[in-house]
Each structure stands twice: as C-alpha cells, then as structure tokens.
Structure 1
Amino acid sequence: MRIILTSVFVNDQNRALKFYTEKLGFVKKNDVAAGDYRWLTVVSPEDQNGTELLLEPGNNPVAQAYQKGIFEQGIPAASFGVKDVRAEYEKLKERGVKFTMEPTEVMPHVIIAVLDDSCGNLIQIQQTPQK
C-alpha cells in the first residue's frame, strides 16, 4: 500500500494553483471541472507520477473550522521534503513567500521551516538525513 493522494483545503483554487506552481515549483497534474469547483492536483516535478496534492475547495463549514483552527494553532497542514531547508527558504523568500518559522533544527540533522501558503494553510518544509 502507498499514498497516492493527499489534500489541503484552500480558500481559492486559482490562487492556490498559482502559489503551488509559481512559488513552490509544483506541476499541475489534473484540472477537471467538478460542478462549481475543480479536481485540481499538483505533483512534484521530481516525481510527476508520485503522490498528488489535491487543492481542495475549503467551502464546507467543517473544513473551514478545521483549517482555521490548525492555522491559528500554528500547525502545518502538510509537510514537504527538501534536500536543503536553508537554501529552499532563501529561494522561496526571494519569490515573496512569507514564513512563520525560519529554518530551525528540531532534532539532530532534522531542520524545518514553516510558510504561509496564502490560501489558509501553514506548510512545513523539512530536511532529514538521506537514507
């Protein structure tokens, strides 16, 4: 068994697509009309057949409460792996991404930073030792 899809609730699918592709560098995989919304997924350019991230409309009141609650508590909605958090942090800051936590070593050889995706979520980037 493997994870093929995960999602984050977003308050604006168009803005989310722009942020996740133009700022973070993901690639649009699916964009299919689904009523008033879209089945909109992005993938890593390094693994375009890998796990998809669904940019899911957050208009459901339960989703809104969840998204607001974890955001206010500073809990990231997702975590993305990077080879070098400090380098990624600098690159993303240059692209205008706002961070709520600068690169921080939280365990030996584990470094994280947290960014605001501008669509209602905090996202963690994480560097872990290569296996």
Structure 2
Amino acid sequence: MRINLASVLVSDQAKALEFYTKKLGFVKKNDVPMGEFSWLTIVSPEEPEGVELVLEPANHPAVKPFRDALVADGIPFTSFAVADVQAEYERLVGLGVEFTQPPTAMGPVTTAVFDDTCGNLIQIAAMNEDA
C-alpha cells in the first residue's frame, strides 16, 4: 500500500493552479473537466510519477468553518518537504508569497508557514542536519 493522492481544499481552482505552479514550482498532472469544477492534480517536478496533490474545490459547507478555525489558530493544512527552509523561504518571499511564520527551528526540524492565497496555511519543513 502507498499514498497515491492527497488533497488541499482551495477556494478557486484556477487561482490555486497558478499559485502552486508559478510560485511553488509544482507541475500540473491532470485537469479533467467535471461540470463546474475539474479533477485537478499537481505533482513535484522531482517526482512526476509520485504522490499527486488534488486541488480540491472547497465548496462543501463544512470546509469554511474548518479552514477558518485552522487559519485562526495558525495551523497549517499540510506540509511540503524542502531541502533548505531558509533558502526556500527567501525564494518564495522574492516571488511575493506571504508567510505567517518565518523559518523557525523546532528541535530536529525547521519549519515556515505561508498563506496559499486560496484559504490555507501551508508549512514547509526540513530536518536539521544535526538531528
């Protein structure tokens, strides 16, 4: 058994696709029209056959209170692994990405948290070399 798909709930699929590909550097894998929305997935260019992230429409009534509560408490919806949090933070800030938490060492891991412009806080993380 392996993880095939993971989802992030987005308020606007087109806006999310733009952000996740142009700013974060992911690559569109699937964009299958399904009525009002699409089956829209992205992958890491480092693992094009790896886990797909579904940019899932956030239209279910339970989504808004759930996401609002996470954002209010500063809790990221998901986390992406990076080799160097500080370098990725600087790259993303240079592209206009807004962070709610700068790179912060937390024991064996360093994390930073940004706003994905589609209703979520997302964390980037890397294990510290001395961990």
Q: What is the CA-CA distance between 1:68 and the residue it aligns to?
A: 1.5
Instruction: Give me the TM-score of the superposition, normalised by structure 1.
Output: 0.95
Q: CA RMSD in A?
A: 1.3
Query: Could you tell me how far apart the structure 2 residues matched to 1:14 and 1:57 are?
Result: 10
Aligned equivalents of 1:38, 1:26: Cα separation in 2: 17
SS for the counterpart of 1:61 is coil
- Residues 97 and 114 of structure 2 are in contact (CA less than 8 Å); yes or no, is this contact kept in structure 1? yes
Taking structure 2 as the reference length, the TM-score comes to: 0.95
- Equivalent residue, structure 2, for 1:16: 16
Percent identical across equivalent pairs?
A: 56
Q: Distance in 2 between matches of 1:79 and 1:42?
A: 15
CA distance, structure 2, for counterparts of residue 73 and residue 6 of structure 1? 22
CA drift of 1:127 comes to: 0.6
Residue identity matched to 2:39: W
Flag structure 2 segments of 5+ consecutive residues without an equivalent. Answer: none
Deviation above 3 Å: which 4+ runs of structure 1? Answer: none
The count of aligned residue pairs is: 130
Rounded Cα–Cα distance in structure 1 between residues aligned with 2:31 and 2:74: 30
Q: State how far apart, in whole Å, the 1-side matches of 2:54 and 2:68 are.
A: 18
Q: Distance in 1 between matches of 2:111 and 2:53?
A: 20
